[in-house]
Amino acid sequence: MNRFYESVTKSICSTLNIVKVLGHCRSMLNSIAPIEGLFIGKYLHDKHRVVHLADVNSSTERLLDDERPVLGAYHDYLMSPSRPESRIWGTVDEFPGMKSVMGAIVPDRNPVLEMRLRMDGEHMAILGAYAKNKSDVEKLRGPLMDIREPISLCVANQLLTRGLLHPSANGTPGAQGSVLDDAGWGGADGLVWASETMKNLLGQVRRIAGLPSNVLLLGETGTGKNMVARIIHDLSPRRKQPFIHVNCGALTESLVDSELFGHERGAFTGATAARKGLFEQAHQGTIYLDEIGEFPLHMQPRLLQVLESRAVRRVGGKEIIPLDFRLIAATNQNLERMVHEGTFRRDLFYRLMGFVMSIPPLRERQEDIPVLASYLLDAVAARLGIDDYPRIDPNAMAMLCRYAWPGNVREMRAVIERALIMQSGDRLFFEPQPDVVAAQENASGKSLNDGMRDQILATLRETKGRINGPGGAANLLDVNPSTLRSRMKKLSIPFGRHCKAVY
């Protein structure tokens, strides 16, 4: 048991006064990194209001009963089943609507950590911490995660006293168990949104999750089909049972039968022991057939038989094994066209179509791009172990919003990761690298290169070609003059005294 955890636990055992406990935590945390303050808040989702319960900083320690309205995108974020357990924001202005909630406690320029507090696994409240520097806030994340359980006990007492906590309370209605937030990018990108389109989609997810129907997810590559499939499972009654992800495009054609349906000992050369197939492993849980359009045509009758009978017979076996599973399938292909072309069975197609959900590409929900880009930046930085990193420059963010993102979230993640690795300075820009950012056209006919070039040219026309000094292009774009010249050179934008007449 570390000294910090032990000290906080003793403090809670001696008093359940939340202000005294936060004050003790703050004094202990100051030995780890300079901390400005700690606060506790709870979202009353039915009222669309956050109530601040306590605030401890360098000048005051106080109980609060301060309610703040929550509007639009911030409400959707707070209710999101994929909301992370902890997150660091650069400022309270970083997310639309957040300042109106946190601004009364957190100074405008301070980075802030929000951490979910749970009781019996259910979301209960938020513990917030803020400091002057983001690196200091990052240092506080680990120690605060260590004391979440004892702090949660103290906060639960405060909520019960105020009548804000009941045995069935859940800060995220319909969210049962843990919902995957794959910050490691092992195959699912973060499902983060601010748009009405995605809000409606997640409404569908919540409705279908509790039903046994087959689900077919349609969408372009990188739109988040894997994450949606996982959320459906995690919100379903089967959430405590296996979730088996099968990449149909990676199945070895000669071994599809054995991999999916299992085999008995001696069924073929090398079968030295009986083995359960993936369908058996998914018994009482969910089997997710990703890239179902890639499933071998000659094996589709066997798959259809299993889906209809809910039973398998292993390769080399005689016993019929009954199964109970929920099926989710996904594809980025047009299955209906494949049926007409004879490359996908019509009867299997209809069997998969229990409930069809189409996940929109990024170009159709551009209002999600700023929120998603900020989320991916934090997630990529955490994965790379980068504690102190710049925020995205406003002009660069505008450029991201103009781009079509043919690779959707997966492409955005790759672009942000490259920019973060190559970053220098206090703002994050995106260099137009053709090997990373394909020069594909978006709805307005502009590539990322085109967007950056237009922005620079417009600024140069405004400054009559002047780059340096107050009011120069570098100053207006908030970038180092040498960095701007480097970008102009890559984009074939002329500069120098002899070019000023051009602008």
Q: 462 and 354: one domain?
A: no
DSSP label at residue 443: T
pLDDT at position 279 over 90:
yes
Q: 116 and 217: one domain?
A: no
β-pair partners for 68: 50
Query: Residue 458 contacts by C-beta under 8 Å, 6 or more apart in sequence?
Result: none
pLDDT of residue 291: 93
Q: Which residues of 77-93 are buried (b: 16+ CB within 10 A; e: fewer)?
A: bbbbbbbbebbbbbbbe
Q: 244 and 214: one domain?
A: yes
pLDDT at position 361 over 80:
yes
Structural domain contains residue 179: no
pLDDT of residue 173: 29
* Domain containing residue 143: 3-161
Query: Beta strands of 194-248 (E only): which ranges?
Result: 215-218, 243-247
Mean pLDDT confidence for 168-178 = 30
Q: What is the CATH number of the domain that holds 108?
A: 3.30.450.40
pLDDT of residue 270: 78
Half-sphere exposure of 126 (CA within 13 A, CB side): 26
**What is the rounded CA–CA span in Å between residue 138 and residue 117?**
18
CA end-to-end span of the chain, whole Å? 66
Q: Residue length, the chain?
A: 503
Q: 138 and 218: one domain?
A: no
Q: 26 and 138: one domain?
A: yes
381 closest CA partner among 87, 29, 83: 87
**What is the rounded CA–CA span in Å between residue 70 and residue 312?**
51
Q: 354 and 369: one domain?
A: no
pLDDT of residue 498: 59
Query: Residue 306 contacts by C-beta under 8 Å, 6 or more apart in sequence?
Result: 260, 261, 279, 312, 323
Instruction: Decide: 409 and 362 in contact? Cβ < 8 Å.
Output: yes
Q: 389 and 346: one domain?
A: no
pLDDT of residue 35: 94
By mean pLDDT, which of 164-173, 311-320, 397-406, 410-419 is the weakest?
164-173
pLDDT at position 444 over 70:
no
Six token digits for residue 183: 């910050």
Six token digits for residue 388: 């102190």
